[in-house]
Amino acid sequence: MSNSVKAVLEGGPEDLQARIVPITPPGIELKVAFKGGYEHFKVTSRHQDTPDGSLPVYEWSFRTEIAE
């Protein structure tokens, strides 16, 4: 069994494949690099049952671009 903490991502781009991701350390916001930018997700009070157990749900909030 893995010791990493994981979360479920909800919302954001439809083509974002990874919906269960490791989070280190668990916090208020999560940034996921995706297609030249970052998708930002905020923690909710909800949990979702998954094959990895009951995981916290992070909800998409906004996107930022990576400066070139």
Q: What is the structure's pLDDT at 1?
A: 43
* Residues of the domain holding 41: 5-65
Number of domains in the chain: 1
Q: Within 13 Å, how many C-alpha atoms sit on residue 62's CB side?
A: 2
Global pTM reads 0.85
Over the stretch 20-50, which tens digit does the pLDDT of each residue have? 999 877 778 999 999 999 999 999 999 999 9
Residue 58's Cβ-count burial label (10 Å; 0-12, 13-18, 19+) is buried
Mean per-residue pLDDT of the chain: 90
Do 34 and 16 meet the contact criterion of CB atoms below 8 Å apart?
yes
Q: Cα separation of 64 and 37, whole Å?
A: 5
Could you tell me what percent of the chain has a pLDDT over 70? 94
